[in-house]
Structure formats: C-alpha cells, structure tokens
C-alpha cells in the first residue's frame, strides 16, 4: 500500500504540528502527518489541573523509563513523553518559558550557529504567540498560541513573591520579556480555562485542509532511502504495513528519544551500533543518541498553619466538585496548573545568568498528582536550568516497538550537585521570610534536621527527578560531527531533516515547549525557502 506526498512529517508533537500547519498553508503542498498515538479529545488533556493524570496514567505516554542511574543511588525514573496528538504539549504542565536570551546567544557564539542568536529567534517567539498582556517589543499579539499571564488563584502565590522580594530578589515585570531574572508570574499555555497544546493551536483549526492527511495510531518503522536520497517512510497501522513516499522531504519530529531511535533504525547512527543490530549503514553518524540532557528538580515542602492551600483539591468530594465546575464553566481550581509564580536566580554572584528556577505549588502532591499528606501544605520545586551531565539513547532492537535504553547520567558532573545543594540553602532563606510567617508550618521535606552538605546531597540523590525536558540527541551544529546542520538537515543524505528538541545543542533555561515551537516556526521557513 503506497501513497505519495510532498512532505512527510513524523510525529504530531509540538514541532510536528507547527510544520503540518505551515507547510499546508499555501495549498500547494501535500503533507502527511503521522502520529503514533490517538486523538487528544480527553478530559485529562483539556482540563489544566488534570495534567498529572494525562502524563502518568499511561494512556497518552510512551511508557519509557531510564536505566538505573548510578548517581541517584541506582534508581530508575520514568521518562514521560507524549504519545497523542500534540505530543508532550498535550500532557505537560503548560508552563510557557522562552528561556534566557544568553541561551540562544550561546548557540550562536559557542556553537557557531549564527542564525540562532536571541535577536534572530525573538521574531519567531513573537510570531507564534498571542499574549494576554498584549503585544510589545518582546511579546506577540496575533500568533497561533494563546499564552496567559495567570491571575493568582491562591494567596500563597502573593506571599511567596513577597518573600522573594524580602530575601533581596527582584520582582520581574515579565520573565519572558526583556530580562528573565527575578520572580514573577509563570506564563501558561491555557486559554479560557482550557489547555492550549500544539494540536489545539495548529491542527484543530486546519483539519479540513484537503492537502493535509493525518494518520493517527500509526507506528513509523523506518525512513526509506534510494541512491543517497530520502524517498519516504514505512509504517504500520491496523496491522498493515504501508509505505508513503515524498517528492521533497521527510521531517522527523518524533522527539529527543524517538528521533534518534528512528535514525538508527533507518541506518543513520554510530556504525558499530548499526552493525551490532544488523542494520546496513546509510550514514555513519557517531553522535546520534549522544548528548542527551534534561532538567532535573526536587521539592522542599512545608505544612501550612492556615487552611489556605489547594490541598483539598486532591481529595473527594472537593476533587469531584472542582471537576464539575470545570466541565460546566471552565473556571475554578481545575482551570489552572497551579504553577502560577516562578523565580529565576543565580546561586552565586559569579554566574552571568540564572541557573535555578523556583516554582511555588500551593498543595502537597506527588509527581502523579496524588496527595503527599492529608494536611494543608505547600511545596516549592527547584529546577537546575543548565545541567552539565550528559547521557545517551541507545537502540536495543530492530523492533521499533521496543524502547531504547535511556541513560541520562544525572549528577555525573559534580557541578550539578554543587548547584542543587546551594539552591536548597537559598530556597530555605526565601521560605523563612516574614511574609510567610502567618501560614508557614514546619518543613516536611527534607526536614530541618537535614543541614550538612552530605545530608543535603543524600536528600537530593533520593528525591531528584526528571523535569521531562530531554533534548540534544541529534545535535545541531556547523561541525562535521553534528547530526544535523543549522537548518536541521541530516548530514550525509538529502531530503531528510530533524525538527524537534533533539537538535538543541544545549538546553534552554526553563521548560522547553516554547523554544521547540519557536524552532519549528523558524525552520519551516527554511524548508519553504528551499523549494
């Protein structure tokens, strides 16, 4: 069974949805968008407060897990990746964070990617968004993605901002604007009480385009080549093996785990690995699957002395009442992710930009959304913005359904642990400020008895987790060793690109959905300019 198109986009995640929308806009190009997961029309996806259910219950996730992590006391960890229309933008926490301008300038200066400086990326950040605060020199007002500066739903959020100011940190007017550093509102991809995913923003409005075909619940097995040129893909759906061919390009937007996996299964990767799998070498590309890195986080939690937290939202009957209000009105505690305030700080004055993100959560919840304790309380999540440690994604089988081996190698570089330890001390100073005196109860985790470097380090090793921002496994660069060039074109073959977070040369300072959308908006122009 064969089909012919101009472009084939593999993966309907953040980047893939952008590409499918923009490539079909003129009506000139026939585009096939292939997604392994189902449609995104589900309560857990659309209701912002239910994101942990969408992420952790397995229905919309690939089910990946890391190998035992040596520096986390041998623990394994889930690696949540969206397997649904919208990809991870349909199951993430909806924090919209562009990153620091220095991140992109580093791509330009340190990696030689001159076209990826902040100045050249900013127009695409503005292009993609409609910001609730209105357009200005840094924000967009007529883009595809609705971005909301939240109204604070808990008094704890205001108290936290006041505590940060009392501790000597600036209050930022807009952490996605001129300067990221400081404490302020944490922008959300939420609009009128509903999640804004890449699917709702870029695909739902254009489903009727006759030159767009969407294949859901279809598993791509490999990219097809002939005479050094990309010809199409082979995929399975409903038990049938199909082939689709392209006149122009195949674009992999399968994400930082699956894009390198697909390259290897197609014969592009380290020659020794390909030989061990019995796969013919199309391109010997040693860095495919290398350079894996991710943000990591942990939480410090306190009991609250007043009943002003959102903790009742985790228990019946309040949980049911919240759900009913959201279904009927799209308002209330169900209409927010509860990550409404954020802070970006430097843990030492020698740093030129923030290296830690703090986010207040006005309840006590585990990563799967269940209650940590049947008391009023709150927690602050601390995330390391620019980790040094690097890992790998290694294909283990020619069966595309078998997960690759994912080894992040968290905390392998000692500097990561040093910065995380210092961010515990800095956060404790903020949480001890007078503005929180009226509601702050005892520290529940790690507990005030945890004070020495060794004690804090052990707490971190036992509690550190992924923030689910994998990137870098198909590194973009100007050097011959890089997997793709500055326009996402895979080296060694023609007609094949990778456009997703796997091509980040280094992670940006914050949640990576917004930079991924920007990257896709920018690279789709390169695709169309080449035609």
Report the candidate in 504, 500, 511, 496 with the shortest Cα–Cα distance to residue 226. 496
The CATH number of whichever domain residue 451 belongs to comes to 3.30.560.10
Place of tokens 């507990």: 447
pLDDT of residue 518: 98
**Residue 60 domain flag:** yes
The CATH number of whichever domain residue 275 belongs to comes to 3.50.50.60
Residue 293 DSSP label:
B
Residues 476 and 374 grouped into a single domain: no
Residues 194 and 205 grouped into a single domain: no
Residues 6+ apart with CB under 8 A from 136: 177
**Residue 249 domain flag:** yes
Is 407 an annotated catalytic residue?
no
Sign of the C-alpha dihedral, residues 40, 42, 45, 51?
negative
Residue-wise pLDDT tens for the chain (531 aa)? 568 999 999 999 999 999 999 999 999 999 999 999 999 999 999 999 999 999 998 999 999 999 999 999 999 999 999 999 999 999 999 999 999 999 999 999 999 999 999 999 999 999 999 999 999 999 999 999 999 999 999 999 999 999 999 999 999 999 999 999 999 999 999 999 999 999 999 999 999 999 999 999 999 999 999 988 999 999 999 999 999 999 999 999 999 999 999 999 999 999 999 999 999 999 999 999 999 999 999 999 999 999 989 888 888 888 899 999 999 999 999 999 999 999 999 999 999 999 999 999 999 988 888 888 778 999 999 999 999 999 999 999 999 999 999 999 999 998 999 999 999 999 999 999 999 999 999 999 999 999 999 999 999 999 999 999 999 999 999 999 999 999 999 999 999 999 999 999 999 999 999 999 999 999 999 999 975
Residues 154 and 239 grouped into a single domain: no
Domain that holds residue 35: 2-40+200-292+471-515
Residues 6+ apart with CB under 8 A from 64: 78, 79, 80, 81, 257, 403, 404, 406
**Residue 141 domain flag:** no
How far are the Cα atoms of 9, 66, 68, 468 from residue 56, in angstroms, in the given order? 26, 15, 20, 12
Residues 269 and 338 grouped into a single domain: no
Residue 291 DSSP label:
S
pLDDT of residue 330: 97
Residues 247 and 340 grouped into a single domain: no
Residues 184 and 224 grouped into a single domain: no
Q: Determine how many CB atoms are found less than 10 A away from the CB of residue 514.
A: 24
Residues 310 and 431 grouped into a single domain: yes
Report the candidate in 498, 94, 460, 436 with the shortest Cα–Cα distance to residue 256. 498
**Residue 218 domain flag:** yes
Give the H/E segment covering residue 81: none
pLDDT of residue 368: 82
Do residues 375 and 414 touch, judged by C-beta distance below 8 A?
A: no
CA atoms lying within 13 Å on the CB side of residue 178: 4
Residues 350 and 416 grouped into a single domain: yes
Residues 161 and 301 grouped into a single domain: yes
Residues 426 and 486 grouped into a single domain: no
483 preceded by a cis bond (ω within 30 of 0)? no
**Residue 247 domain flag:** yes
Token pair for 450: 């945890």
How far are the Cα atoms of 52, 84, 317, 421, 524 from residue 328, in angstroms, in the given order? 21, 25, 17, 45, 39
Residues 318 and 345 grouped into a single domain: yes
**Residue 97 domain flag:** no
CA distance linking residue 163 with residue 436, whole number of Å: 7
pLDDT of residue 57: 87
pLDDT of residue 2: 63
**Residue 165 domain flag:** yes
Domain count along the chain: 2
Q: What is the largest CA-CA distance in the chain?
A: 72
Residues 441 and 459 grouped into a single domain: yes
**Residue 120 domain flag:** no
pLDDT of residue 1: 54
């Amino acid at each position: 069974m064969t089909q012919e198109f101009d472009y084939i986009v593999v993966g309907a995640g953040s980047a893939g949805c952008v590409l499918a929308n923009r490539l079909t806009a003129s009506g000139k190009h026939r585009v096939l968008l292939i997604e392994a997961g189902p449609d995104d029309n589900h309560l857990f996806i659309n209701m912002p407060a239910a994101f942990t259910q969408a992420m952790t219950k397995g229905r919309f996730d690939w089910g990946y897990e890391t190998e035992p992590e040596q520096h986390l006391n041998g623990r394994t960890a889930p690696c949540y990746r969206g397997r649904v229309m919208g990809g991870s933008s349909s199951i993430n926490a909806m924090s919209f964070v562009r990153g620091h301008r220095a991140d992109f300038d580093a791509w330009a200066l340190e990696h030689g990617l001159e076209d990826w400086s902040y100045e050249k990326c900013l127009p695409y950040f503005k292009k993609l968004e409609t910001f609730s605060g209105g357009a200005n020199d840094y924000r967009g007002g007529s883009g595809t993605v609705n971005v909301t500066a939240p109204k604070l739903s808990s008094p704890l959020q205001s108290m936290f901002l006041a505590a940060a100011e009392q501790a000597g940190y600036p209050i930022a007017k807009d952490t996605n604007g001129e300067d990221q550093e400081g404490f302020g509102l944490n922008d959300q991809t939420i609009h009128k009480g509903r999640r804004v995913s890449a699917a709702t923003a870029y695909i739902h409005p254009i489903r009727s385009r006759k030159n767009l075909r969407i294949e859901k619940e279809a598993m791509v097995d490999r990219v097809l080549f002939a005479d050094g040129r990309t010809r199409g893909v082979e995929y399975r759906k409903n038990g049938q093996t199909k082939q689709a061919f392209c006149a122009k390009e195949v674009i992999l937007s399968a994400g930082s785990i699956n894009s390198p996996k697909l390259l290897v299964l197609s014969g592009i990767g380290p020659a020794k690995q390909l030989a061990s799998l019995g796969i013919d070498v199309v391109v010997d590309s040693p860095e495919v699957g290398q350079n894996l890195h991710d943000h990591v986080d942990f939480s410090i939690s306190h009991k609250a002395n007043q009943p002003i937290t959102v903790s009742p939202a985790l228990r019946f009957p309040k949980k049911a009442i919240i759900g009913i209000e959201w279904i009927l009105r799209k308002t209330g505690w169900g209409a927010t992710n509860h990550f409404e305030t954020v802070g970006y700080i430097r843990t030492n004055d020698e740093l030129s930009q923030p290296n830690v993100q703090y986010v207040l959560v006005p309840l006590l919840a585990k990563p799967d959304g269940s209650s940590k304790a049947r008391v009023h309380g709150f927690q602050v999540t601390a995330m390391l913005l620019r980790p040094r440690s690097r890992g790998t994604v290694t294909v283990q089988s020619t069966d595309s359904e078998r997960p690759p081996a994912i080894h992040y190698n968290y905390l392998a570089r000692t500097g990561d642990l040093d910065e995380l330890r210092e961010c515990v001390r800095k956060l404790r100073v903020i949480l001890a400020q007078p503005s929180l005196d009226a509601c702050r109860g005892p520290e529940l985790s790690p507990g005030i008895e945890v004070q020495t470097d060794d004690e804090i380090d052990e707490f971190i090793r036992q509690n550190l987790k992924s923030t689910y921002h994998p990137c870098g496994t198909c590194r973009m660069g100007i050097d011959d060793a890089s997997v793709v060039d500055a326009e996402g074109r895979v080296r060694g073959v023609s007609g094949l690109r990778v456009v997703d977070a796997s091509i980040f040369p280094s992670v940006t300072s914050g949640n990576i959905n917004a930079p991924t959308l920007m990257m896709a908006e920018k690279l789709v122009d390169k695709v169309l300019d080449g035609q």
